[in-house]
Structure 1
Amino acid sequence: MRPHWTLILSGAGIILPRVSALLRFSCSQLVVERLDPLVNPGVVGSPHLHQIIGGNSFNGSMDPSTLDIPGSATCTTCTFAEDFSNYWTAVLYFRARNGTYKRVPQKGNVYFEEANGGMTVYYIPSYNDTPVTAFKPGFRMITGDPTIRTQEEAQRFRQLTYTCLQDPMTRTGETLDMPKKPCPAGIMANLRFPTCWDGVNLDSPTHSSHVSYPLNGTFEDGSPCPSTHPVKIPQLFYEIVWDTTPFNSVSEWPEDEASQPFVWSYGDATGYGNHGDYVFGWRGDALQIAMDTGCNGFQCPGLRYQEIREGNKCTKRREVEEDVDGWLTELPGGMPVTGVDGKPIS
């Protein structure tokens, strides 16, 4: 059944005003896999583990010169059937006192509880009805940096945060680092991508220099784009709810009360290295049409809605055969765990 609501929740802790063409939808998990076609194209067995959602044409290379993403995909995990894009982040692990690791599963967000993990995706054009240019075929980008381990470095990226969920509706108290106390309803990672484009390049060597955050402030402030990146693009925004509740017993947390037990699959025990990847794959002009019409969350007259249970059926076989779900003696790929200033954690 489709969810019903009249107000859209924002990860910024406010109720979003009614804006034209705001999309909020669910994408179930496609695969948990050590592949990264942006940072490690063609490599089967990238350095760290990712959880991927979207179309099943996802693979280790995703060469934009040869791959027609929507044309190659046969299904999508997303509730808008025209969306064969791929969205991915790292995977969260619980580190026990004995040094072993257990993967933390994702769970469905508010109104999308029946989703098989995955995440909630937003596309927001503007808060003042300013037209935006939808992403083009071949467009891809990354926000955040997995090597960051300090708050000062993390502040270079705007609004990559965590919410300690007191209940599923919590949308306040965002932090740049991992929550230091057990969260009653899990931890939500919030990733907001840049909203300005140079208007020329669909990608760049860093996968981020062709896009920019607004000149100052945030997207919600309505700040203009810098002259180097004058084209306004939709605000792409991920919410990922990690079900940390099975690990809420403080008796299993580090004895050092200043520490917390969750680490990212790239070895980050601080949370400051929060990052996400995106490869555009909407069919035809569907996204531009959606940005130009009166959509409200999952309700969009220009798009075809797919029930969550259908998206749950779209999966992909893992290419790297390894245990990612049992109690592990090390993170997949052997990633070392580091804390503040990159210092190893034994």
Structure 2
Amino acid sequence: MQLSKSTIASIGLALISVSGVDAFWRLPCANPIVVERSDPIVSPGKLSGHLHTIMGPDSFDFTIPTSWTFAEAKKKTKCSTCQVSQDLSAYWTPNLWFRAKNGSVAPVPQYGGALIYYMQRPHQSNENEKIYAFPPGFRMLAGNPWVRSDKTATIKAQKAINYACIAPNKANPETFGFPKINCELGLRMQVFFPSCWDGKNIDSLDHKSHVAYPDDINYGICPKSHPKRLVSLFYEILFDINKFKDEWTPNGKDVPWVLSHGDATGYGLHGDFLNGWNVDVLQKAIDTCKDPNGDYKDCAAFNNYRIEDKVAGECFLTESVNEKTTGWMDKLPGCNPITYGPSDAAPVLNCAVQAAIGARKPISSDMSALGWEYDSCVWDSIYDRTFPLETKIWDNKMTIDMCINHCKKKGFPLAALEFANECFCGTKIRSDRKGAGRCTMPCIGNKNQNCGAEARMSVYRKKGYVAKRETGHARRTSKPAEPVLGDVEMKTIGY
């Protein structure tokens, strides 16, 4: 099942009640930029102990120094999964897993990426209180990954971490731990960050002490130690737990969900934020964007800065850690024993089995031995083919080499692979099909090669051939064009 951003936004918003004295905007992030054991705040330059689902720019890496600014990020960024191009921040949380009765685990598919809320929330008695943008290099954490019970739920920092069970025609209460029912439209993680700042430090040893929550989490007064009010930051990340509806029976007691750091209670949910905003643009948005409907497109500060949905949806990073993170597994990636509490947990030290950080896996393969080279990733549609349908072959042993050799014999200078096992040939690439990026489906005949994806084609060209980009919609049938995946605003990402 797929949900649009507008549907998700209309379902509800925890912790947020817009009144005449405040406003907010939602920043959509179409997809994770990557899901891997990376955390440049807590574990700079090293493998994180557990997997994170990370939204933001393709300049994201294992090490991001505190000198990181928008100008610095812009030099190294080609795209971002978040849809205001003057924001190159990174947002991440642990990802969610299903634990079967036999102990094996599988990642839960994520609906799209995230909705990030920026809220102007002055103290209720002072509507004119100055609200500040995050300074350059600023970073912070929210939540405690090692909490395993509700004993701390009365503490402000833990009240800022909770879940919403989204189900049709049901008003389920939000919970601090995992809800004990199925959520047909998704389980939504919700992380609310501190909004009071000491005004000096962009980070601290625990990545929390330089910020604090107000005495009331929504509109309270900031403590004297942290007198400056920051724009309030809130994450919503939705997971498709209904996919596993046939694998468990809710009994109001036990749940099969576990966070990637081994938390089977949900109380250890946490979030990380690393600022990459053009600070002047963010401050202007805070000062001038007062739309109570929360549509970022209505914020004049962002005019001409928006990244289109399709571009954001195709932005991604390939993995740089050679470890299995998808499908059914015997245990969670990293060293993360599953813990149930009520006692707090602790990270496993000196883990004997660790993967290594390497170069990111290339999306294309070297075909120079055949005299061919990679061109690009492009869109396709079954109703309006990018390359002639009559050139298509299908093979359950398909590889890039096989497709290139097929097209060479037919006299074509372009070879395109799609959906792991399909091959097409052509002479031109239509200009309206440019912009795809996620050609990451392994070839059915060689898992070390990528053969496009659903509605996406990995195109290779004869070396030296200039692939012309034609315009128009040639070969259109009488059927309406089939929406390619990039047209879906918030799509399910399967792992």
Q: Structure 1 length as normaliser, TM-score?
A: 0.87
- What SS does structure 2 have at the residue aligned with 1:334? coil
CA contact (8 A) 2:143 2:161 kept: yes
Deviation string 1:219-272 (CA, Å, 9 cap, x unpaired) is 2xx2110000000001100001111111123x5358x75210000000000000
- Greater than 4 Å deviation, 4+ residue runs: 2-5, 7-10, 18-21, 169-172
Matches within 5 A, 1:284-323: 284-296=279-291, 297=294, 298=296, 299-303=298-302, 304-323=305-324
Going from structure 1 to structure 2, the CA distance change for 1:9 and 1:81 (only over 3 Å counts) comes to farther
In 1, the alpha carbon distance for the partners of 2:21 and 2:77 equals 31
Q: Is the 8 A contact 2:95 2:107 kept in 1?
A: yes
Q: Is the 8 A contact 1:21 1:291 kept in 2?
A: no
CA distance in 2 between counterparts of 1:137 and 1:88 reads: 18
Q: Tell me the equivalent position of 1:223.
A: 220
Matches for 1:76-155 after TM superposition, within 5 Å: 76-107=80-111, 117-126=112-121, 128=127, 130-155=129-154
| Inter-partner Cα distance in structure 2 for 1:138 and 1:197 | 14
> Which amino acid letter does the alignment assign opposite residue 244 of structure 2?
F
SS at structure 2 position matched to 1:337? coil
Query: How many percent identity over aligned positions?
Result: 38
Q: Which runs of 5+ in 2 are unaligned?
A: 346-495
Residues 293 and 21 of structure 1: CA distance in aligned 2, closer, same or farther (over 3 Å): farther
The equivalent residue for 2:260 is: 265
Residue from 24, 29, 34 that aligns with 1:31? 34
Q: Tell me the SS of whatever aligns to 2:188.
A: strand
Larger of the two Rg values belongs to structure: 2
Q: Which residue of 1 aligns with 2:402?
A: none
Distance of aligned partners of 1:170 and 1:177 in 2 relative to their CA distance in 1, 3 Å threshold: same
Conserved? CA contact 2:134–2:279, under 8 Å:
no
CA distance in 1, matches of 2:120, 2:327: 41
Residue 177 (str. 1) matches residue 166 (str. 2): no
Would the aligned equivalents of 2:93 and 2:270 in 1 still touch at CA under 8 Å? yes
Relative distance call for 1:94 and 1:320 in structure 2 (3 A) is same
Instruction: Answer yes or no: is the 8 Å Cα contact 1:140–1:207 preserved in 2.
Output: yes
Q: 1:33 is aligned with what amino acid?
A: E
Q: In the TM superposition, what is the alpha-carbon distance from 1:152 to its structure 2 partner? A: 1.4
Look up the equivalent residue of 1:185 and give its one-letter code: L
Paired residues of 1:85 and 1:279 also in contact (CA < 8 A): yes
- The equivalences for 1:270-289 within 5 A come to 270-289=265-284
What is the one-letter code of the residue matched to 2:104? T
Q: Which runs of 5+ in 1 are unaligned?
A: 108-116
Distance 1:293 1:92 in 2: 37
Pairwise mapping of residues 219-258 of structure 1 onto structure 2 (< 5 A)? 219=218, 222-249=219-246, 252-253=248-249, 258=253
Deviations 1:295-318 (A, max 9, x none): 532221111222221101111121
The one-letter code sitting in structure 2 at the alignment partner of 1:101 is: V
CA contact (8 A) 1:30 1:56 kept: yes
For the structure 1 residues 26 and 19, does the alpha-carbon distance in structure 2 shift closer, same or farther, using more than 3 Å as the test?
Answer: farther
CA distance in 1, matches of 2:344, 2:23: 45
CA change 1:261–1:206 in 2 (3 A) is same
Cα gap change, 1:81/1:8 in structure 2, threshold over 3 Å: closer, same or farther?
A: farther
Does residue 1:159 correspond to 2:160, yes or no? yes
Deviation at 1:294, TM superposition (A): 2.3
Q: Secondary structure at the match of 2:301?
A: coil
TM-score normalised by L of structure 2: 0.62
Higher relative contact order, structure no. (Cα contacts within 8 Å, ≥ 6 residues apart):
1
Shift of 1:9: 7.2
- Aligned-residue offset at 1:23: 1.6
Shift of 1:95: 0.4
Residue 98 of structure 1: how far off its partner (Å): 1.0
For 2:341, the equivalent position in structure 1 comes to: 340
Query: CA–CA distance in 2 between the matches of 1:202 and 1:14?
Result: 26
Distance 1:30 1:171 in 2: 32
Residue 110 of structure 1 aligns with which residue? none
Shift of 1:285: 1.1
Aligned to 2:365: none
Aligned partner of 1:186 in structure 2 is: 186
Q: How many residues align?
A: 326
1:11: how far off? 2.3
Give yes or no for contact 1:21–1:290 (8 Å, CA) kept in 2: no
CA distance in 2, matches of 1:318, 1:59: 11
Cα distance in 1 for residues equivalent to 2:299 and 2:230? 19
The CA RMSD measured in Å over matched residues stands at 2.5
Deviates most, 57-66 or 326-335: 57-66
Matched residues in 2 for 1:131 and 1:170: separation?
A: 39
Whole-angstrom distance in 2 between the partners of 1:200 and 1:253? 51
Other-structure match for 1:58:
60
Aligned residues of 2:68 and 2:137 also touching (Cα < 8 A):
no
Structure 1's 276 and 3: CA in aligned 2 closer, same or farther, altered over 3 A?
closer
Structure-2 separation of matches of 1:84 and 1:239: 18
